[in-house]
Amino acid sequence: MSASIRFFARRILPLIADIEVRGDVSKLPTGGYMLASNHLGRLDSLVVYYVIDNDDLIHPLTDKYKKNFFARIVAWWLRVTWLKRGQADTKAMREFITRLKNGGVMVIAPEGTRSKTASLLKAEPGAIYIASMANVGIIPVALTGTEDADVKSRLKRFQKLKITISTGSEVYFPPDIKSVKGVERDALLQNSIDEVMCRIAALLPERYRGYYKDAPRTLDLLNQKDRA
């Protein structure tokens, strides 16, 4: 299944899109890590296969899409793991952690939903919990050009999409959360996911940075890029 998706992503996508990869993807680990990206549109998950060779890609998807027949077909093709909406889905969490420990690559959008403005939304900390429990690193990824409205508009006019995939140079390793509880754990989780999102923001053009545009950490990372 993964081979067919990868074939489509690498052979068919270039026919409808000019894809620019920024960052050395050859340095990505072979497995056992998480890719965290901004979420612009329905094409995001497919684009990941353009750069990733791992055959165990973990795609979480909220079960609200089960009502849509087309969504169920795509979910079957991508082998998504359904998440129960609005509650802690411990069964899915255990699956994610086990597969990560066994070398899988989890593709996740910490914002939890597509951004209607294409700019970053405040992220939820679930990705940090999963990565910490599985003891794996997180690689920030920034996407542009996969916005649903832009994709639809360009394809209707027979124009090629302009997609960029930018990867961070450093893997972020989340803190060990097992020894903290309550409010302290909540703060640690949120601070950690904000760090990941600021790294994504620093890889994006300004208009995409949204909630994290003026975050001190984002500005610090941008200053470091300017000095490099």
d(CA 84, CA 88): 7
Closest among 76, 50, 55, 53 to 65, alpha carbons compared: 76
**pLDDT value at residue 85:** 67
Domain boundaries, the chain: 2-227
Residue 15 C-alpha from the chain's centroid: 24
**pLDDT value at residue 1:** 58
CA-to-CA separations, 120 to 1, 98, 211, in angstroms, rounded: 31, 29, 6
Strands of the sheet containing 80-83, edge to edge, are: 17-22, 161-167, 137-144, 33-37, 105-108, 57-62, 80-83
Q: Does the pLDDT at position 100 exceed 90?
A: yes
Question: What is the SS3 assignment for 114?
Answer: coil
Lowest average pLDDT, out of 3-7, 98-102, 172-176, 196-200, goes to: 3-7
The type of residue at 228 is: A
Q: Does the pLDDT at position 136 exceed 80?
A: yes
**pLDDT value at residue 205:** 97
pLDDT per residue over 173-226, tens digit each? 999 998 889 999 999 999 999 999 999 999 999 999 999 999 999 999 999 988
Question: What is the SS3 assignment for 119?
Answer: coil
Question: What is the SS3 assignment for 21?
Answer: strand
Structure tokens at 39: 């979420």
pLDDT band at 64 (very low <50, low <70, confident <90, very high): confident
**pLDDT value at residue 82:** 81
Closest among 36, 48, 49, 51 to 2, alpha carbons compared: 49
Structure tokens at 163: 């997609």
Give pTM, 2 decimals: 0.91
pLDDT per residue over 13-57, tens digit each? 999 999 999 988 777 777 899 999 999 998 998 898 888 888 888
